[in-house]
Amino acid sequence: VEARRARVVEAMAAADEGKKRKLENAPNPDSAKTIRGLDLPTFDGKGLKIAIVSARWNSIVCGSLTQGCVDAMKACGVDAADIVVEHVAGSYEIPFAAQVLLETKRFDGVVCIGCLIKGETMHFEYISEAVTQGIMNLNLKYNTPVIYGILGCLNEEQAKARAGVEGAGHNSGIDWGYTVVESCLLKKKYLR
């Protein structure tokens, strides 16, 4: 009886795993076993209209993040015609541009993509804080998913690794694409 019960439990677990996919992050640099990564169910994003606001500053990184985000949304069934990508000069301009798009009421969600790399002055801290607060406030003011896709890195190598540039690391834009679809579906489920 115990052996049969174990087989049933194992079969149920395998069935659940078949409905999920694991989105792996880059390997942990100290080679320790990691628990990072998302267990993702299958999302049906058909019919969702999603905007991306991406900074042109650090364009190689932001371009890769944007493409990863678009690819993930398409993998969830979001039609390419329902994805709008707008560009702004830098990360500081992102909250305003996202607000403009939210004001149109045409989008179920917005993904904000930028990359801040620390320099020798306090500029990084000021911009990072302003952008973070701006994006958080948009979520609350518009009751719409506004995904925080702003990398805050200490150097260019970290930025490239988090954007999957030149085959390094994991493209975080993929995570943000899945996150915006999941968040939009949550809103549609509970708020009509």
* Catalytic (active-site) positions: 123
Gap between the Cα atoms of 109 and 52, Å rounded: 9
Residues 6+ apart with CB under 8 A from 19: 41, 42
Q: What length is written for the chain? A: 192
The whole-angstrom separation of Cα 3 and Cα 172 is: 42
Helices (H) and strands (E) in the chain, counts: 6, 6
The residue with tokens 């990359």 is 115
Cα(51)–Cα(98) distance, rounded to whole angstroms? 8
Question: Would you say 177 and 54 are in contact if contact means Cβ atoms under 8 Å apart?
Answer: no
Helix axes 123-142, 94-103, angle to 10 degrees: 10
